[in-house]
Amino acid sequence: AKVVEHTFHVGNITTRKMCQERTIIAVNGSLPGPTILVNEGDTLIVHVLNKSPYDVTIHWHGIFQLFSGWADGPEFATQCPIKPGHKYTYKFKVTKQEGTLWWHAHTSYMRATVYGALIIRPRIGRKYPFPKPYREVPIMIGEWWNANVMDVERIGMSTGGVPNISDAYSINGRLGDLYPCSKKHTYKLKVTPGKTYLLRIINAALNSQHFFKIANHKFTIVAIDASYAEPYRTSVVVIAPGQTVDVLMETNQPMADYYMAARPYNSAAVAGPFSDDTTTTGIVHYIGGPTKNSTAKMPILPALNDTATAHKFYTNLTGLTTSRFFVPVPRHPDEKMFITFGLGISVCGTPNGCINSPFGPMISFAASMNNHSFELPTSTSMLEAFANGVKGVYTEDFPDHPPLKFDYTKANLSSSLWMTEKNTRVKKVKFNSIVEIVLQNTALLTPENHPMHLHGFNFHVLAQGFGNYNNNKDRKKFNFFNPQERNTIAVPTGGWVVIRFRANNPGVWMMHCHLDVHMPLGLAMAFVVENGPTLSTRLPPPPADLPRC
Ligand code: C2O
C-alpha cells in the first residue's frame, strides 16, 4: 500500500457556459475537479487550500473513514469549515471497499461545482470480479446554474425555502448539444471497437435523479456505491444524487457516433416549477468511424415520471456474495428505528427569516425526520463536542419512532405534523451495535422521493416497497442472502426502504437527504457512535490543523 497525495486549490475560475462568461468555484481550475485514483489499502492525503471567498469543507462520499472521522468533512458535523485563506489536510486510509466513489464540497450549494471522482482499484495483484476492462472512464452527471449557486441557496432559504431550479445538466462538466452555445464543448468519449469499457457513472447533480442511456448499447452493472453487485443487464441506468453505478459496456456496434444522454427522473412529475426537465448529452465516437455528429443516434430515455422503470432498476440490484468484501447481513439488530421523513412547514426564525415567503412572512418550507428539522450547530462541530464531552451542542434524544402513526401516503393531515421543530438531535448508539431502520417516506405536503445517504457506513438494503410499511407483511420480504449494499438509497415516493448496518466506527455520522434543496430545510439527522472498549476502537484525537469555528 502506498500514500497518495493531492493538493486542492479551491478558488474562482471563469468558464463559458450557456453563451456567457461565468465565475464559479472549482478545484484546481477544472470542472469536474481532479479524479483521485487509489488502490484499496492506500492512504490518501489531500491538502485543501481555500482561496475562494466562501467557507468550504470536502466530503469523501462513501468512504468508511474507519477511525478517521475527523476527515469525513460535513461542515459543523465533523469539522468547522475551512475559512477563506485557510487550509486543512484530510488524511485517511481507504480500506475494505473497491469501486467508484466521489468527493464533493459539504458546505451549502457549493458542491454544484466542487466535486470529482474517487476511484478505488483493487490492491496490486488482486483482480476485479469481472473481466479486466480495456479502459475505465468516469462519467459524472452534474447540475448547472447560471446564477452564483451560493446566492441561489441563500436567497431561496431566506424567502420561504424554495431555491430556483437549475438551468442545465452536464456530463463531465459539459452541457451537451441540446443547450444553447454548448455544442462545441460536448463531452466526447472516443472508443476502440470490439472492446469492453468500464464506465464509472456518478450522479453529482444537486437535486435530480437521472436516467442514463447510450444509444444502441447495453450495460452490465458490476458495482454500485463501491460495492460489487451481481452482474445485471440493462439498457438504462437509474441513479440518484450521491449514488454511483459501475457498468461494463461492449463497443460492439457499427462504426458510428452514438449519443449518451441523461435526463431527470422525478416521481412528483411536476416539471417546471420544481425541476428542470432538460437533457444533457455526450458522444461516444468509434475510432475510425465517420466523424459527423449530425448523424449520431439519440437514445430514447424514459419519461420524467417513469417510476416503473426506476423501481425495476433499483430493486433488481443485488450484492455479489463471492466478492472479497462481501459482508453477510448482520443478524439480531440492537436498535430498531422507524424514521418518517418528508416536506413540511415551519415557523421562520433566524437565520432563515423568510420575509418574502409565498406563505406569508412567518411561514416557510421545512423538511424533517420523525418530525424534527435538523439544524447544524455553528459554535463548534458535533464531533469536537463528542470528543471533548462538550454539552449543549446537540442532544441525544432523536426519537426511534415518529410521534404519531398515520397514513404516510396521504396529504392534508393535521398541521401538528407539518409544523416541525428545529433542533440538533442525534441518535446515540453503542460501538458495534447493529442498527435497523425503516425509512418511510411521507406525503404530508407533497410526495417526493428522497435519496437518503448515510455517512461512514454501507448498509444492506433488506427490502423496499410502496405504501405504508407493514411490519408483519413486509418483514417476510427481507433479503438476508444477497441484498445490495449502498451508502445512498432512493426511497420511493410514498414508499419505504429497510436498511441495516453495523455501527463499527466511533464518531458523528450524518444521515440526510442527498437532494441539496432538502438539507438546509432539515431533512437530516446524525448518529453518534460511542467509542469501543479498546484503544484501537476509539476515535483518535483530532489532527492539529483541524479548523476552528
Ligand atoms: Cu455526499 Cu453528506 O454527502
The pLDDT value given to residue 360 = 63
DSSP string, 48-78: EEE-SSS-B-EEEET---TT-GGGS--BTTT
62 Cβ closer than 6 Å to some ligand 1 atom: no
Q: Phi-psi category of 519—alpha, beta or left, where left has phi over 0 and alpha has psi -120 to 50?
A: alpha
- Ligand 1 centroid–CA 132 distance in Å is 30
61 Cβ closer than 6 Å to some ligand 1 atom: yes
- Ligand 1 centroid–CA 258 distance in Å is 33
- Ligand 1 centroid–CA 60 distance in Å is 8
Instruction: Write out the chain's pLDDT in tens, 549 residues.
Output: 999 999 999 999 999 999 999 999 999 999 999 999 999 999 999 999 999 999 999 999 999 999 999 999 999 999 999 999 999 999 999 999 999 999 999 998 999 999 999 999 999 999 999 999 999 999 999 999 999 999 999 888 877 777 889 999 999 999 999 999 999 999 999 999 999 999 999 999 999 999 999 999 999 999 999 999 999 999 999 999 999 999 999 999 999 999 999 999 987 655 455 678 999 999 999 999 887 656 899 999 999 989 999 999 999 999 999 999 999 999 999 999 999 998 877 766 544 556 556 666 667 778 889 989 999 999 999 999 999 999 999 999 999 999 888 888 887 666 666 667 789 999 999 999 999 999 999 877 676 789 999 999 999 999 999 999 999 999 999 999 999 999 999 998 889 999 999 999 999 999 999 999 898 889 999 999 999 999 999 999 999 999 999
Contact 10, 94 (CB under 8 A): no
Q: Which of 477, 480, 468 is nearest to 442 (CA)?
A: 468
Ligand 1 nearest atom to the CA of residue 488, by list position: 1
- Ligand 1 centroid–CA 102 distance in Å is 10
The model carries a pTM of 0.96
How many Cβ atoms are within 10 Å of 197's Cβ, its own excluded?
19
- Tell the residue nearest (CA) to atom 3 of ligand 1: 61
Ligand 1 nearest atom to the CA of residue 62, by list position: 1
DSSP string, 472-523: HHHGGG---SSB-EESEEEEPTTEEEEEEEEE-S-EEEEEEES-TTTTTTT-
111 Cβ closer than 6 Å to some ligand 1 atom: no
The pLDDT value given to residue 247 = 98
